Structure 1
Amino acid sequence: MPICKFCKQWRACLQISFVVLTLSMAAAMIGMARTINGLHDELTSLSKSQLQVAASRSEGSDFGDEFDPSQEKHSGAPPRHLSMFGIGTDSSAGCWLLSDHATSNSFDVSQATCNFLNCPSCFISPTSLSQATTLTITGCSTHRWGIGTGTRTRSGVWGYTFINRDSTNTMTVTDGSGSWVLSPLAYVHAYCDSASGSNRLYFTTTSVATLTVADGFTLSGGNFDASASTGTFQTGSGAISLNGDVTAASGFTLSSGNFDASGSTGTFQTSSGAVSVNGAVSMAQGLTITNGNFDASGSTGTFQTSTGAVSLKGSVTCDNGFTLSSGSFDASASTGAFSTGSGSVTFNGPVSVTGTNTFTVGTAGSGGATRLYGDVTVGGASAGQAADIDVFGAFRRYDHDSARNVISSASDGVTLKGTLSLDGGTTVSSGNNLAIATYGTIVCDASTGGYTAVCRAT
């Protein structure tokens, strides 16, 4: 009985174990089936993707650097692919090779304009350009997809790459509104979007907070405009060349060094304001004042000219003397008068009144005394050179002892005081008398000129 009871329990345990084992195997088989089904689904999805890729290739879609998000099933961003493009001008080109021409590289990327094919998103110059070139990209907001001539257009935002491989010439990229100049051996990325429909290429910003240039700065086009800045503009110690017009709106200060325009053939012109030249000024080729005054009244220095002619065409006023140290003072070409002041006038050399000109002292009825300390000669010694003296008034003669001999005249005769010697004959015209004062004595004891008795008063 106990043995049979034990056997019954063992059989029950064995049955239970078999049931458990069966259930475990069933669960394992179910898991394997699910795994197999998952692999089948993945393979099916991969096969579909390959078929879609093949279909896209047949339609001309750009496969490689673009993707269709609707065909990707990822929980995050799609993985990045290596950017490796072929260069050329056919359907295999991932980077379009530009022609060696200044302006013929113009592409409407919304059409099949790259050799009758849709254009890629990369453009590259030849390794050697004969001149600078300009690349024009239009219609980028509706850029066509893919290789070939498919008509699908992009949606969203996408990038472009522009590469200049030439070592000397520039490459300008423009969308017709904005542009970017690529220097030799350089590249730039730009973006375009479909939503705005602006067909604009968005280049990297040209605004920087601080810019340090270690090895030169060249502006090949456009303007250098710092008008919005309130800061200073400072250069180094090297030479500065301003090859065009320069306008200073708020002053120009030179704190050191020279202001040298000697190499210029142009003019130097100031405004209507005052000009102060505080140092010495040298004029190598003339000074012309067309208007206004030349005023040196505030100067305590001298005014000196060179050995050339000096023409003063207007009135000249000398407040503090005029000295001629050499040369001639010649006013012979002038028809005007020469007038001195009320002070004395000294002629240290000979004075000549030429031609038929006269020499007059004072005016009729009012004149100052004229004193001549030397001999006076009237007329010349040769025939035909005689000249007369007209005296309207008394003629006074003084000896060296100041004794005065006077010859005075009146309307009724001439009075002689002192000894009068008549070396020639004297004739008293008819009707006139020769009167001798009562105190005089007439002695007639001389003979001359055929006269035997010449009378004299003693």
Structure 2
Amino acid sequence: ACSSAKWIRSASRSGAWQYTFINVDNTYTVSVTDNSGSGTTYKVPPYGHVTAYCSASGVGATTNKLAFPSTTLPTLSVDNGITMSSGAFDASASSGNFDTSTGTVTLGGNTVISGLSTFTTGGGTVDIQGAVTVANSKSITVGSAGNGGAVTIYGNVVIGETGTGNGRSLTLNGDFTQADVTGTTSSFATGTNTIGLNGHVTVASGKNLVMTATGAGQFTTGTGTVTLNGNTIVAGSGTFTSGLGAVSLKGAVTVDPSITFTVGSAGSGGATTLYGNVVIGDSTGAASCTVNGNIVQADVGATQTTITSGTGAVNLNGDVTVATGKNLHMTATGAGTFQTGTGSVSLNGNVQVGGSSTFSTGTGQVNLNGPTVVADSQPFSVGSAGNGGIVQLFGATTVGSTAINGASSSLTVYGDVSFNNDQDGTAKTFSTATGQIDFNGHVAVAANMNLIMANTGTGQFQTGTGTVTLSGNTNVVTGATFTLDSFTNIVNCNHASSDVGDTFCKASR
């Protein structure tokens, strides 16, 4: 025990002993421990000392124990630093501040701020060398509203965790700027949930906005105008569907080969208006146009519009109506033919065959329901020489005209001429003009028919040199004469002299 220490001349002494422990070594630390069994250890630093007291007699635990300098001090001023080799530094019972000098403060162990106490740094840089964990439900705030400083994080930032219910949100009340790392482009990846971009989004020049080509995600815009400043390609078998508003295509539109262009569905298609010229196919690749419905062409204001086809056949499978006052013309100098079907052809206007062209009908009956006029100096022929068909005229037939002097014409018949009565027996007559009539063949008057000259006229009846046979009675009316020219045997009487009566003729001089 410290109280058993010997005084001079080996004499014991009661009371309090003072021990001074001096460490004269420049390197090692000296540990001083009393021998009470649960003694206190005091470490003396190199070239330092400590003073302790030991009571030779005392009360309770104070006997035979080294009493080192008190750890409770009203004020402790240290000129050259404090070094603790072990034990805790506990100022929890104090309500005062803990102030350090302007030198570096090194905390070799964990630092815990208990309760609701806060941690405030100075205006200098704060360098946190280890991982930082913020307790559950606690926040980190940099600056105050409108006055926060810049936060620079050189490592990856993870918000929340992938486990169920561990996701957390990031709210940014300001601009967001992402920059590349020199030589390496940076990327931006989100989760699979909905992303709300509440402001305008601008994609930098030369950068793309790409959705995974094999994904089923949709791209939906708002009700504002969508402007696509580059080419737009719908890949694969994807479709392009617009809304119900007008769609304006301000550039040339090309549909790929073998691809169809459809407006509406069968029976429900809307109107298609094309304000420019429409070209179907080209000079090296012909294409057809099929219209399952009506075709209507209108004029442009006062300017008439036309339809021009190619040189191939044009098939009009339905009735064709030409509007009133409009023509159906073939090129007058062309060699094309005009052909109808087997149905009736009605020509409601005048028909004119131009130039030296001819007009030929089929072998069926031709009905001319109006007056037929053959132009001046033009012949009218039925059939060919020796093969003409029958010409039957059911109305009065007039050759020439009495309208002007010299308008009369002649009728030449190379064949027989027959005049027949009506079917009911009504007799028909044959009347000539007052000019001479020449009969170049025999003239036969049918039985019981007369050859009568007007008895009031001065016309003569003269025969040729042939025999004149009067088979009936010959009467010379009163006042008229019957004169025989002077000639021998001018009258020959064939009656026999024995004839009864005196009715036979007598020659006279």
TM class, shorter-length: 0.5 to 0.7
Structure 1 residue aligned with 2:20: none
Matched to 1:397, the amino acid is F
* Deviation of the 1:280 alpha carbon: 0.9
Q: Give the counterpart of 1:273 among 299, 305, 312.
A: 305
1:218 aligns with 2:240: yes
Distance in 2, matches of 1:316 and 1:24, equals 136
* Deviation of the 1:393 alpha carbon: 3.5
Tell me how many residue pairs correspond in the alignment: 336
Structure 2 residue aligned with 1:368: 409
- Aligned pairs for 1:90-109 within 5 A: none
CA distance 1:277–1:209, shift in 2 (3 Å)? same
Structure 2 residue aligned with 1:321: 358
Distance in 2, matches of 1:274 and 1:290, equals 14
- 8 A contact 1:189–1:203 mirrored in 2: no
Structure 2 residue aligned with 1:7: none
Question: Share of identical aligned residues, percent?
Answer: 18
Q: Give the counterpart of 2:152 among 76, 87, 100.
A: 76
Q: Which blocks of at least 5 consecutive residues in structure 1 are unaligned?
A: 1-9, 55-62, 87-91, 96-119, 122-144, 146-153, 165-172, 176-181, 191-200, 401-406
- Give the number of the structure whose residues are more often strand, by fraction: 1
CA distance 1:399–1:259, shift in 2 (3 Å)? closer
Distance in 2, matches of 1:381 and 1:186, equals 99
Q: Which blocks of at least 5 consecutive residues in structure 2 are unaligned?
A: 1-22, 28-44, 51-77, 90-99, 120-133, 177-189, 199-210, 265-269, 383-387, 443-451
* Deviation of the 1:268 alpha carbon: 4.5
CA distance 1:429–1:330, shift in 2 (3 Å)? same
1:444 aligns with 2:484: no
CA distance 1:218–1:345, shift in 2 (3 Å)? same
- 8 A contact 1:162–1:188 mirrored in 2: no
CA distance 1:93–1:344, shift in 2 (3 Å)? farther
CA distance 1:189–1:156, shift in 2 (3 Å)? farther
1:399-446 deviation digits (Å, cap 9, x = unpaired): 58xxxxxx9999434141324322211111222222333348223335
Secondary structure of the residue that 1:26 maps to in structure 2?
coil
* Deviation of the 1:82 alpha carbon: 4.4
CA distance 1:206–1:390, shift in 2 (3 Å)? closer
- 8 A contact 2:24–2:48 mirrored in 1: no
- 8 A contact 2:160–2:166 mirrored in 1: no
Which structure would you say has the larger RCO, counting Cα contacts within 8 Å and 6 or more residues apart?
1
Q: Give the counterpart of 1:338 among 359, 362, 372.
A: 372
Q: TM-score, normalised by structure 2?
A: 0.51
CA distance 1:188–1:369, shift in 2 (3 Å)? closer
Q: Give the counterpart of 2:389 among 326, 349, 354.
A: 349
* Deviation of the 1:396 alpha carbon: 3.0
Structure 1 residue aligned with 2:274: 248
1:368-417 deviation digits (Å, cap 9, x = unpaired): 232233333334499944333334343433358xxxxxx99994341413
- 8 A contact 2:24–2:46 mirrored in 1: no
* Deviation of the 1:274 alpha carbon: 2.5
1:279-336 deviation digits (Å, cap 9, x = unpaired): 21011112222152211125321111111111111011112110113211112xx3x3
Distance in 2, matches of 1:202 and 1:80, equals 36
1:416 aligns with 2:471: no
CA distance 1:381–1:455, shift in 2 (3 Å)? farther
- Aligned pairs for 1:174-189 within 5 A: 185-186=216-217
1:1-29 deviation digits (Å, cap 9, x = unpaired): xxxxxxxxx99999x97369997762679
CA distance 1:324–1:394, shift in 2 (3 Å)? same
Q: TM-score, normalised by structure 1?
A: 0.55
Secondary structure of the residue that 2:493 maps to in structure 1?
strand
CA distance 1:20–1:426, shift in 2 (3 Å)? farther
* Deviation of the 1:353 alpha carbon: 2.1
1:434 aligns with 2:455: no
Distance in 2, matches of 1:234 and 1:67, equals 59
- Give the number of the structure whose residues are more often helix, by fraction: 1
